[in-house]
């Protein structure tokens, strides 16, 4: 008896272990059954899933092709030269004083790690963006009535970055038109060059501006002096007073010598012949003519109208003396006065010409020096018209849209099945039905057969009363 009892105790020990295993296998079996039921439910609604997938693919395809294409045009700029650091510092200081859209460019000048940060600030400034908005009429392109809205859209479509290691600046512009995207990217570079030149305040720039203004005044003075000299020369038939005076003295000497020779010959003939002789009269006429020509050259010709001759000490208008002589050149008597006035006009014209030449030379040197001190923008990769669109990714949109519709359909099927499994007397289900009925009564387009909202509300009230009666009957049965 005692041995049997001792043997029966170890045999009874495994029984609880077998009970625990059965308890663990029960939830696993229930989980497998639940999964099988859900899979069977999904398999039974496979046609619905196929239709939903086809509809999702169709709708996502339409959406993908309705989204307008976008293109990105990119240009890259080389980092500025290190030699132009001083010029950029002056430019930043001038921008800070100027205020407005460029005031923030130089606000943190001492904290700039490279000159490329200053270029990016200039490109992001309101002045640069406003010029681009006006140049390309972006208000009309973006459908923005206000300039600030067009500027904001342009800023959103523009990406400007700088490589920390190489210092290369990249400008990328996104637009629906590939031509406009490339043009905007190139216009950013042009605006950068223009603003850098305008804001440069180096000594060479100031010198160049001063010389430019001074050249305008010197050019006007030179034109005035040249016109005065030309008018004086045209009025008095003077070209070069020195050469002209020398030529007139040579001509007067020649005529005077011929006249002396003719007079000597005439006096010889008068010793032999009378005054009525043909040869005497001929030589006499020649002497008279030579004397008249000599008087013309000297400016002492007798006035044919008044019968008077100008005295050697008489002074007057040189042009009048020339006109009285009827010669196409001034007389010897008027040469001193004409020479003095001509020298005055000629000296003024020569001085203005020399000043203009010196200013022009200095102006060209200042331009070269300004170009050295002004930060230069070197384009590494110019903006090109993009050949491929950057957005939208149509295949991705179609795949995601189809997948989303499939996922929603699966959730809908599983949720509907779970909703049907809930007891109709569940307070939560009753509450949801009440909310749905109330919302449906508030929406006019949700009524069927043209029922009025009041009719729908009445129906909802009848349904609510029926549910209350059902709950009351169920409570009585429980009791």
pLDDT 10s per residue in the chain (479 long)?
344 444 444 444 445 444 555 555 667 777 888 888 888 888 888 899 899 999 999 999 999 999 999 999 999 998 766 554 444 444 444 444 444 444 444 444 434 445 678 888 889 999 999 999 999 999 999 999 899 999 999 999 999 998 888 888 999 999 999 999 999 999 999 998 888 877 766 677 788 888 889 899 988 988 898 888 788 777 776 666 566 656 666 666 777 777 778 778 778 777 777 778 887 788 888 888 877 776 776 656 544 434 444 444 444 444 444 444 455 555 655 566 666 677 777 788 888 889 899 989 988 988 888 777 766 678 888 999 998 988 889 899 999 999 999 999 989 888 888 888 888 888 888 888 888 888 888 876 655 544 444 444 444 444 445 445 544 544 444 44
Cβ pair 297, 316 in contact under 8 A: no
pLDDT at 304: 40
Q: What angle do CA 401, 407, 409 make, to 5 degrees?
A: 100
Q: Provide the CB-side half-sphere exposure for 7 (13 A, CA).
A: 4
What pLDDT sits at residue 347?
Answer: 81
What is d(CA 379, CA 376) in angstroms, rounded to the nearest whole number?
10
pLDDT score recorded for residue 156:
93
Residue 187: which of 382, 374, 389 has the closest Cα? 382
Residue 315, Cβ neighbours under 10 Å: how many?
12
The residues, ordered by sequence, that sit 6+ positions from 48 with a Cβ below 8 Å of its Cβ are 409, 413
Provide the pLDDT for residue 243. Answer: 61
For the entire predicted model, the pTM comes to: 0.50
pLDDT at 71: 94
pLDDT of residue 164: 84
- What six digits make up the tokens of 313? 């000490």
- Do the beta carbons of residue 277 and residue 283 sit within 8 Å? no
User: According to the model, what pLDDT value does residue 476 have?
Assistant: 45
For residues 389 and 269, the answer to whether their CB atoms sit within 8 Å is no
Q: CB atoms < 10 A from the CB of 192, how many?
A: 20
What pLDDT shows up at residue 428? 83
């Amino acid at each position: 008896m005692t041995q049997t009892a001792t043997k029966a105790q170890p045999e009874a020990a495994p029984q609880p272990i077998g009970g625990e295993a059965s308890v663990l296998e029960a939830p696993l079996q229930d989980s497998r059954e639940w999964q099988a039921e859900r899979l069977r439910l999904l398999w039974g609604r496979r046609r619905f899933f196929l239709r939903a997938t086809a509809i999702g693919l169709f709708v996502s395809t339409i959406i993908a092709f309705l989204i307008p294409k976008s293109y990105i045009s990119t240009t890259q700029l080389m980092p500025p030269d290190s030699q132009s650091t001083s010029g950029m510092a002056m430019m930043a200081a001038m921008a800070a004083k100027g205020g407005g859209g460029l005031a923030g460019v130089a606000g943190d000048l001492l904290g700039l790690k490279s000159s490329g940060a200053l270029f990016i600030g200039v490109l992001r400034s309101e002045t640069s963006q406003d010029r681009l908005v006006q140049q390309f009429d972006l208000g009309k392109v973006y459908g923005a009535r206000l300039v600030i809205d067009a500027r904001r859209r342009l800023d959103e479509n523009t990406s400007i970055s700088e490589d920390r290691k190489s210092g290369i600046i990249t400008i990328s512009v996104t637009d629906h038109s590939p031509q406009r995207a490339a043009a905007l990217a190139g216009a950013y570079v042009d605006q950068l060059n223009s603003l850098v030149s305008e804001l440069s305040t180096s000594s060479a720039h100031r010198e160049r501006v001063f010389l430019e203004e001074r050249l305008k005044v010197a050019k006007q003075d030179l034109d005035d002096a040249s016109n005065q000299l030309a008018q004086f020369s045209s009025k008095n038939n003077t070209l070069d007073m020195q050469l002209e005076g020398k030529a007139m003295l040579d001509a007067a000497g020649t005529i005077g010598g011929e006249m002396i020779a003719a007079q000597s010959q005439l006096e010889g003939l008068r010793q032999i012949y009378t005054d009525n002789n043909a040869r005497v009269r001929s030589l006499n006429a020649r002497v008279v003519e030579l004397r008249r020509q000599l008087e013309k050259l000297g400016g002492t010709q007798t006035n044919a109208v008044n019968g008077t001759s100008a005295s050697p000490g008489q002074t007057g208008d040189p042009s009048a003396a020339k006109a009285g002589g009827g010669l196409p050149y001034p007389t010897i008597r008027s040469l001193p006065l004409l020479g003095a006035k001509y020298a005055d006009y000629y000296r003024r014209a020569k001085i203005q010409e020399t000043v203009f030449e010196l200013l022009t030379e200095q102006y060209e040197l200042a331009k070269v020096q300004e170009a050295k001190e002004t930060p230069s923008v070197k384009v590494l990769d110019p903006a090109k018209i993009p050949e491929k669109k950057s957005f939208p990714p149509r295949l991705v949109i179609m795949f995601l849209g189809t997948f989303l519709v499939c996922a929603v359909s699966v959730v809908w099927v599983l949720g509907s099945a779970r909703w049907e499994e809930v007891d109709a007397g569940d307070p939560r289900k009753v509450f949801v039905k009440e909310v749905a009925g109330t919302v449906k009564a508030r929406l006019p387009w949700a009524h069927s057969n043209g029922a009025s909202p009041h009719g729908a509300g009445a129906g909802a009230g009848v349904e609510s009363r029926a549910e209350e009666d059902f709950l009351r009957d169920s409570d009585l049965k429980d009791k």
